[in-house]
Chain A
Amino acid sequence: MPNFSKSNTVTPDPLRMANIELAFQNEDRRKRAAELDIANEELAYQNEEKEKRAAELIIANKELAFQNAEKEKRALELVIANRELIFQNEEKEKRAAELIIANRELIFQNEEKEKLAAELIIANKELLFQNEEKEKRAVELIVAYQKLVYQNEEREKRAAELVIANKELLFQNQEKEKMAAALVLAEAERTKMVADIVQRNKDLEQFSYIISHNLRAPVANISGVTQLLQMPGIDRYDEKNFMQDLSLSVKKLDDVIMDLNYILQLKNSEDKKREQVKFSELLNDITLSLSDLITSNDVEIISDFSIIDEIPTLKTYLYSIFLNLITNSVKYRRQDATPVIEITSQMLRDKIQLNFKDNGLGIDLGTRGDQVFGLYKRFHNHVEGKGMGLFMVKTQVESMGGKISIMSEVNKGTEFKIEFELN
């Protein structure tokens, strides 16, 4: 563009110059706008193209998403189908294993059958052989039978002879049995005699003890007192006392001798006559004769003979037994309790048992229990007594073939059980 501003010296028309300039500038701008219009159109076209592509992509995307979902479904179906196949395979394997076992069993059974068949063949052969042997034996047996027939005839002859010999033996045996029975009786007799002798020996031992203790005691006293009587220095008072003691001792000596005599007679009275005795009547008689003792001590006697009330016995002995046991229970009563005596009878198979039970002082059987029934043995010294009662009871019970036992507890009471055999 020509530079007009610097040519001040030239004086062109300025307005035309500016118009030309403006026209030029307008022309330029018009060209530029046209160019922009073209560029704009181009851009609009490009935008439309891009939108079309974008729409196409959205559609393509949706298509892909749909395809993916389809694929997942198929995959799931395949997993399920796979599991089914695995299960079916396992089932088939099991069946196969079972078939293998079944096969083995069949094979084993076949083998067994083959063995059996082989054994049967052998057994058959054996049977055949045995049949042949039996036929041979049958022939032999016929021969043997003929022999036996002959021998039997011989034996019958011998048997007839033996019958006669047997009768002879039988007679001899009967004689021997009679002898044996007699021997058994004699043996029983002997055993009883030995037992009697043993008992008598014991009695004798007891008697020798009694003589050394109880018979000697008053004799020793007599001897002691007579020595005192002869001593210097005694006075009239002494003399009087000594004489009293002397006479007491003599009386005591006589008592012991009388006791011994009585006991010896008891032992010799085994063949006394027995009679039927009722316990209830016997007890009545005794309570009557002891009525003073019973009432003054407030004694209660309870009796029950309902099971058995009557036995054949020696009445005097049984009376003495009842009397001794009842008086003992009263004598050795407890001061702090009303004396109660229970007397009962009962049956034990072929025996009758009498029970005497009290609630008295009792006896300590632990230390001297074996002496309870001993003569002149005493366990309490607060009451008068000779120590003869229980000895008498035992002697009488035993002389009638009975037995007596005692159970006792100190301060509780005492129980006697007496057994007699019934025959």
Chain B
Amino acid sequence: MEQELLPDFLVIDDDPINNMICNRMIQLSLAVSSVQTFTDPGEGLAHIQVKYAAGKAKKTILFLDINMPSMTGWEVLDKFSGFASEVQDKVKIFMLSSSVDPHDIERASSNTLVAGYITKSLSQAKLHSTFSDYVRN
């Protein structure tokens, strides 16, 4: 796969083990080095704002957890919906949650900012199907 075609990856999850799994899984599967992880959603959002304010950032896939203490994934989406449309166009959000609760899956699919819902953990197969979803869009 061409390196230039590959997007950047962001992970926002309060669980460091999950972040480590995502990081290594993406690096080992796609040979991508640019994976940034945040355990604090506020910091993650601030990073996105700063990165895209510069204007030259690459397209990005964001894996977003739902159940976090300081700010839930839904609250992150609320904040993100207030970002400029150029930022929203560059960042494709996939919910990544351990929850198999149908309410969560329903809620994610009804949110237009959400590109997909992945149940943890992120595997090679899930990553590939996510990526093909991303390329198709």
Contacts and interface: CB of A to CB of B under 8 A. Distances in A.
A234 B67 contact: no
Interface stretch (B56-64, B86-94, B106-114, B116-124): B116-124
B2 interface: no
A251 to B, nearest CB: 11
A384 B107 CA distance: 29
9 contacts: A213-B67, A213-B101, A216-B98, A231-B29, A245-B20, A368-B72, A378-B70, A380-B69, A380-B70
Interface of A: 208-209, 212-214, 216-217, 219-221, 223-225, 227-228, 231-234, 238, 241, 245, 248-249, 367-368, 376-381, 387
B120 A381 contact: no
A216 B119 CA distance: 10
B99 interface: yes
Residue with the highest number of chain A CB atoms closer than 10 Å, among B17, B18, B29: B17
Given A248-B17, A367-B75, A224 B69 contact: no
Contact of B121 (A223, A367, A380): A223
Nearest to A378: B69
B28 A231 contact: yes
B129 to A, nearest CB: 15
B41 to A, nearest CB: 9
Nearest to B15: A217
Interface of B: 14-15, 17-18, 20-21, 24-25, 28-29, 39-40, 67-70, 72, 75, 97-101, 119-124
A212 B101 contact: yes
Given A212-B100, A241-B20, A381-B14, A224 B28 contact: no
Contacts of A377: 69
A212 B99 contact: yes
Q: Is the interface of A mostly helix, strand, loop or mixed?
A: helix
B44 to A, nearest CB: 13
A228 B68 CA distance: 24
Which 8 pairs show the lowest CB-CB distances between chains A and B? A224-B121, A378-B69, A220-B120, A224-B21, A217-B98, A216-B98, A220-B121, A212-B101
B66 to A, nearest CB: 8
A381 B40 contact: yes
Nearest to A245: B17
A233 B69 contact: no
Contacts of A378: 69-70
A416 B68 CA distance: 24
A234 B20 CA distance: 13
Contacts of B70: 378-381
B21 A231 contact: no
B98 to A, nearest CB: 4
B101 A387 contact: no
Contacts of B122: 224
A53 B22 CA distance: 159
B69 A387 contact: yes
B24 A228 contact: yes
A249 B20 CA distance: 13
Nearest to B100: A212
A233 B24 CA distance: 10
B121 A379 contact: no
Given A213-B67, A233-B28, A381-B40, A224 B123 contact: yes
Given A212-B101, A223-B123, 12 more contacts: A213-B67, A213-B97, A217-B120, A220-B18, A220-B119, A221-B120, A224-B18, A225-B17, A228-B25, A233-B28, A367-B75, A381-B70
